[in-house]
Structure 1
Amino acid sequence: MSVYGEDTQDFLKGKHVYGGEYVHRLLKPLQPGDQLPEFSGTVFHRGRESDINIDQLKGNALLLIFIPNTLDNHGKASWNLVIDLCLNKGLDLDIVVITSNSRDTMRAWMRLKANPALRRAYVIPDHCGHIVTQFGLLNPDTCETYSGFFVSDVDGCIQGSSISNKVCGIYPFSSEEAIEFVESSLTPANDTSSEA
């Protein structure tokens, strides 16, 4: 009998729940053909802060950009890319940015540093890592998130994805590459209308 009043053999036969829901696990990163996972959180959009879930964005093509840290050099470069994309009126999709910074950090950053062009983007802080875990962008050894770039169609099906580690920042690296990536992701394979 243990000091806790249980026989070890009986304990081992019982159901064991160790709080796995609180431990971040690296899932297989989402790939083209996968459905967007259900998620919700606080969002900064058009100068307001509110709650959002993925169902509110369904029906539109989405560009989801994961930025591990807003405050480092790679974060700055990634935000410059997001600003360029927000300024592009030819992109017919909603831009969703998920960052690993806290809600308070993002609230202050949006107030003090953010470019007005970002009003077009949905900015979702994911400090606890729930969303990055669902997308498979968490390194289990270091608990750091990877940069990610996902394009989904109006039905919530991922059509393109690009994942890179924090060292090299986000790919695509330029707005031209990003626009090409989005357009090629959302163009059906049998569509030959652009080939003429």
Structure 2
Amino acid sequence: MRLKPLAAAMPALALAACVSFGAKVPPTLMSLTPAERLAPGTAMTGTDAQAIAVNLPTAPQSLVGLRVPVQASPTAVAYLKDAQWVEPPARLFRHLLAEVVEARTGRVVPDYRQPALAPATRLDGRLQAFGLDAASSSAVVTFDAVLARTGQDQVRTRRFEARVPVTAIDAANAPAALNQAANQVATEVADWIGR
């Protein structure tokens, strides 16, 4: 008689051993920190004609998730062990880019999800690379920028790229190098917009 409760609990125990409530979080969660940002308490005003929209860039499938890509060869991509982004790279880069553009140009950069605002200058683009390159032992950020202004027929485009050497392709070296490369690209983009 005492075996019946134990026998009834066995299927539940077996099922519990098979169930996982999410992937194991890696030891390193990576983010980006703007090298230039507005000081706390800074107030800015501007019209739609003066504001800049920094839109969410598109990205290839290798950059859609949270894993950090490593270009293993010209035709092969691997992912960095024990590290991942806190959110997709395109969103992280957009936030950093908006902060740096606002700080360097002195122009208002509203959140791209505010449809009521219609900035006259719009920055779009594609994040082509945002990871590590095994062949050159470097962090690589490549952004194809598209700048358009309301009322103008011309659209300006430019490719920006930064490469920062890393001593090893690992989770310890990747965050600082990718942050430096992203900030370099963001600074160059901000200066290009200001011309």
TM tier, shorter chain?
A: under 0.3
Higher relative strand content: 2
Higher relative contact order (CA 8 A, sep 6+): 1
The TM-score normalised by the length of structure 2 is 0.28
